Structure 1
Amino acid sequence: MTNAETLGRCPPSTGCEEPSSTRIPLAVYLLAAAVFATTTSEFMVAGIMPSLSQAFGVSVGEIGYLISLFALGMTIGGPLATAFLLQLRVPNKPAFLWLLGLFVIGSVLTAVAPSYAMMALGRVVQGVSSGGCFGIGLTICANLVAPQFRGRAVSVVLAGVMLAPVIGVPATALIDQTFGWRVSFWGIVMLTAVATMIIAVGVPSSKPEDFTDLRSSFAALGNGRLWAAYLTSGLIIGATFAAFSYFAAIFTQVAGLPVTTIPVLLAIYGVANVVGNLVIGRFADRYTIPILIGGLTILAIALAVFALFAADPVISIAAFIVIGLFGITMNPAMAARVMRAANPDPMVNAVHSSVITGGLAVGTWAGGLGIDAGYGLTAPLWVGFGLAVLGLVSLAPAKARRIS
């Protein structure tokens, strides 16, 4: 392993330094639009928890499980769907479109759900298709640009994730408060259908050399460095979403803020996501490990402060913004680390998505479990703090190599 790899930096000789954003084709931005649609659906439950809790007659903790079910669908079903399509030798673009169609079906189930059970089923279907879409979408993205531009191109696709809290999630919360939660879910159906049509027209057809068979995809997973990168990614996202999944309830029931402030807080959080993604995305290839270490340290401190001062609106909002700046925004660094450990591949990307959403599921589930066990609405924040600390521990070997 070279010193540059140990530091998580991009050696200048590889040609990956500072590519021009003009080299990124329009199709990459179209992929970001599809990711925006699926990510909005994944996160929207956090902003409409009170309405769903009342509609289905279940606790806030049980509504939080709907986020976990989506994440578990991605974790387990995403790689299985990807493997199935690879086994059938379906090219990347048609596979992506089939999975988007499945996502539309799952979205319809959530919109018409007469019961909590039907809503849960729809969330699982959405999660399975979203996991496959994410893995194949990143592979298409990587194949659309030269290798030295992959990190920047992936950060564009990930911008769809960052924009979801800024635009999509606040919009669904406002729609819920104005027209009801079902209209919010029907909005996702429409959004995904439009994204599917845009992808069908605007993304080039897959090239024969872009195809990866199932055997070579599984072979790419036999890499210890890759799984070390996966572990850190899962812990980062788990720590972030242990807090984010329950923020609406914390702010309204602990800090005493009116429910009408939730869309505003979502928008502020989303802006923090976008700013963090822009900055980290620019330096992720060169300073991967330092970004992960620094980001996890700040994230852990912010979660602890949020938990200790949850009843203080000013301090808790400030901590929430810091979580937005240094939580999910580490995604470009996480992706850069994975891409350095293994070449872009549908299964590599799908499993990375699975590990990330597995961390999301664990963080959200553990937070809900803490609430239902009687530890209060700040329990998810302490869960997030613990996961962030574990994330730092997972980087200790890399840090030791860096020092040596």
Structure 2
Amino acid sequence: MSTRPRLPLTIYLLGATIFSLVTAEFMVAGMMPALAEAFSVSLGEVGNLIAYYALGMALGGPPVTVLLLSRGIGSKQALVGLLAVYVIGGALAAAAPSYAVLAVARVIMGVSSAACIGLCMTLCAAMVTREERGRAASVVLAGLMFSPVAGVPLTAWIEQHHGWRASSWAVVALALACTLLVTLRVPASQAGGEPKLGQQWATLRNPKLWSAYLTSGLIIGATFAAFSYCTPILIDEVGLKPSQVAPILALYGVANLIGNMVVGRFADSHTFTALGLGLALLVLALCGFALAGDLTWLNLGCFIAIGLTGVALNPAMVARVMKAAEPGALVNTLHTSVITAGLALGSWAGGAAIEAGWGLRAPLWVGAGLALLGLLSVIRPLAARRLQGTCA
């Protein structure tokens, strides 16, 4: 009986690197009151610190990647350099004397983070065979899944016991450790080894690639339209006590990890099937959550089901992009930016639905609508593959 080859240990290192990047992105959510008090600003202004980071990711990542490619810098060298910039930005944030300095530092971190994630995926693809890219991507992206489960709660615990600056310095230390390990352990990439910039620009003219991007944006948008408002929904609509929310969020994170690993096993050989079934489950879970009423078991069951799909479809999303185009740094970084834009769109649309007076569960219907659009975006290519008799 044949066994699947073991993945290189450096794949797990890249996953740890993404873990440090994503933890820094969302750690603000766990220490909002402390930051508001420290800088004498409102909670809304503190929440904008997450938006500044996301804005840097969405708008800054691709131009930085283009600049690096135009200089012929190899993927590893670019990753190490950008991680160094990220560490400097993190240190600036940890030592920030004012809110304005902290906001600027978060933008710097977001710009470098987007490019770093894209480069991590490029290096991941180069270290394994085409047949193993989806499985390897699921390991690297597990860092993203594990961040809400362990990273954000841990930074919140540090903040509660030692202050928000200690929490920020801890993330800087983790990012610095990852930078040093990437420098020492990731195989060297030669300058010019990356496809030429003109070739990567040409790749972006591929309609299949943009179709894959669209599906990814809709999946993440649907997920975060709901997840961004899950705490008030669980407390005010479902009736949970505030102390019960954290364990439920932990279960949601565990579901993310399980879904990510399951999807990772099938992402390469059954990419469109995994996306189609995952999106169908996401639509059902969001609609079920919206209609669950006072049934606690149904509310919680649907919430955990959202965790099993949604963000957990990342390996299939990445596999589809890698099948549509050679996974160069620009392709992967732009994919990261599209995902970030989807996150921002979903969160904004969910909030807008609440502000319009449609109730706290309105974001769930927004998410269901985006997920349905995502499902429609994969039905046609899935049906075409079925008709051709190929394995989707």
For 2:3 and 2:216, locate their aligned partners in 1 and report how far apart those are by CA, in whole Å. 25
For 1:368 and 1:181, locate their aligned partners in 2 and report how far apart those are by CA, in whole Å. 27
For 2:189 and 2:181, locate their aligned partners in 1 and report how far apart those are by CA, in whole Å. 16
Aligned to 1:204: 187
Aligned to 2:4: 20
Aligned to 2:136: 153
Aligned to 1:58: 42
Task: Give the number of equivalent residue pairs.
Answer: 385
Does the Cα contact within 8 Å between 2:133 and 2:268 map onto a contact in 1?
A: no
1:137 aligns with 2:120: yes
Does the Cα contact within 8 Å between 1:113 and 1:119 map onto a contact in 2?
A: yes
User: Which residue type is aligned with residue 66 of structure 2?
Assistant: A
**Structure 2, gaps ≥5 residues long:** 388-392
Matching residue within 182, 191, 195 for 2:178: 195
1:168 aligns with 2:147: no
Deviations 1:189-246 (A, max 9, x none): 2221111111111112113563332212211211010110110001001111122223
Matching residue within 310, 332, 336 for 1:353: 336
Deviates most, 249-258 or 30-39: 249-258
Does the Cα contact within 8 Å between 1:237 and 1:356 map onto a contact in 2?
A: yes
Aligned to 2:378: 395
RMSD: 2.6
For 1:370 and 1:58, locate their aligned partners in 2 and report how far apart those are by CA, in whole Å. 22
Deviations 1:110-156 (A, max 9, x none): 43456655444333222211110011111111222233332222222
- Which structure has the higher relative contact order (CA within 8 Å, separation 6+)? 1
For 1:71 and 1:355, locate their aligned partners in 2 and report how far apart those are by CA, in whole Å. 11
State the SS of the aligned residue for 1:210.
Answer: coil
User: Which residue type is aligned with residue 377 of structure 2?
Assistant: S
* Percent identical: 50
Deviations 1:139-184 (A, max 9, x none): 1112222333322222221121122122212212333444444433
Does the Cα contact within 8 Å between 2:131 and 2:268 map onto a contact in 1?
A: no
Deviations 1:76-97 (A, max 9, x none): 1111111111112222112101
Q: CA 1:54 to 1:377, structure 2 compared with 1: closer, same or farther past 3 Å?
A: farther
For 2:85 and 2:50, locate their aligned partners in 1 and report how far apart those are by CA, in whole Å. 18
User: Which residue type is aligned with residue 178 of structure 2?
Assistant: A
Aligned to 1:225: 208
Aligned to 1:344: 327
Q: CA 1:399 to 1:145, structure 2 compared with 1: closer, same or farther past 3 Å?
A: closer
For 2:233 and 2:90, locate their aligned partners in 1 and report how far apart those are by CA, in whole Å. 27
User: Which residue type is aligned with residue 224 of structure 1?
Assistant: P
Aligned to 2:300: 317
Instruction: Note the C-alpha offset of 1:360.
Output: 0.8
Aligned to 1:67: 50
TM-score (norm 2): 0.88
Does the Cα contact within 8 Å between 1:370 and 1:380 map onto a contact in 2?
A: yes
Deviations 1:318-359 (A, max 9, x none): 222111101111011111111111112111111111111110
Does the Cα contact within 8 Å between 1:155 and 1:332 map onto a contact in 2?
A: yes
1:365 aligns with 2:348: yes
Q: 1:230-309 alignment to 2 at 5 Å?
A: 230-309=213-292
1:326 aligns with 2:273: no
Does the Cα contact within 8 Å between 2:94 and 2:165 map onto a contact in 1?
A: yes
State the SS of the aligned residue for 2:85.
Answer: helix
Instruction: Note the C-alpha offset of 1:311.
Output: 6.5
Instruction: Note the C-alpha offset of 1:375.
Output: 4.2
TM-score (norm 1): 0.86
Does the Cα contact within 8 Å between 1:47 and 1:262 map onto a contact in 2?
A: no
Deviations 1:354-381 (A, max 9, x none): 1111101111222233344554443332
Q: CA 1:41 to 1:306, structure 2 compared with 1: closer, same or farther past 3 Å?
A: farther
Does the Cα contact within 8 Å between 2:27 and 2:152 map onto a contact in 1?
A: yes
User: Which residue type is aligned with residue 334 of structure 1?
Assistant: M
Q: CA 1:169 to 1:71, structure 2 compared with 1: closer, same or farther past 3 Å?
A: same
Q: CA 1:291 to 1:241, structure 2 compared with 1: closer, same or farther past 3 Å?
A: same
Instruction: Note the C-alpha offset of 1:65.
Output: 4.4
Instruction: Note the C-alpha offset of 1:262.
Output: 4.1
Aligned to 1:43: 26
State the SS of the aligned residue for 1:315.
Answer: helix
Instruction: Note the C-alpha offset of 1:50.
Output: 5.7
User: Which residue type is aligned with residue 86 of structure 2?
Assistant: F
Instruction: Note the C-alpha offset of 1:52.
Output: 5.2
Does the Cα contact within 8 Å between 1:135 and 1:347 map onto a contact in 2?
A: yes
For 1:114 and 1:304, locate their aligned partners in 2 and report how far apart those are by CA, in whole Å. 45
Does the Cα contact within 8 Å between 1:33 and 1:195 map onto a contact in 2?
A: yes
Q: CA 1:158 to 1:257, structure 2 compared with 1: closer, same or farther past 3 Å?
A: same
For 1:172 and 1:155, locate their aligned partners in 2 and report how far apart those are by CA, in whole Å. 24
**Structure 1, gaps ≥5 residues long:** 1-17
State the SS of the aligned residue for 2:187.
Answer: coil
Does the Cα contact within 8 Å between 1:296 and 1:392 map onto a contact in 2?
A: yes
For 2:83 and 2:117, locate their aligned partners in 1 and report how far apart those are by CA, in whole Å. 10
Q: 1:74-153 alignment to 2 at 5 Å?
A: 74-113=57-96, 117-153=100-136
Deviates most, 229-238 or 157-166: 157-166
Q: CA 1:133 to 1:391, structure 2 compared with 1: closer, same or farther past 3 Å?
A: same
User: Which residue type is aligned with residue 199 of structure 1?
Assistant: V
Give structure 1 regions of 4+ aligned residues with deviation exceeding 6 angstroms: none
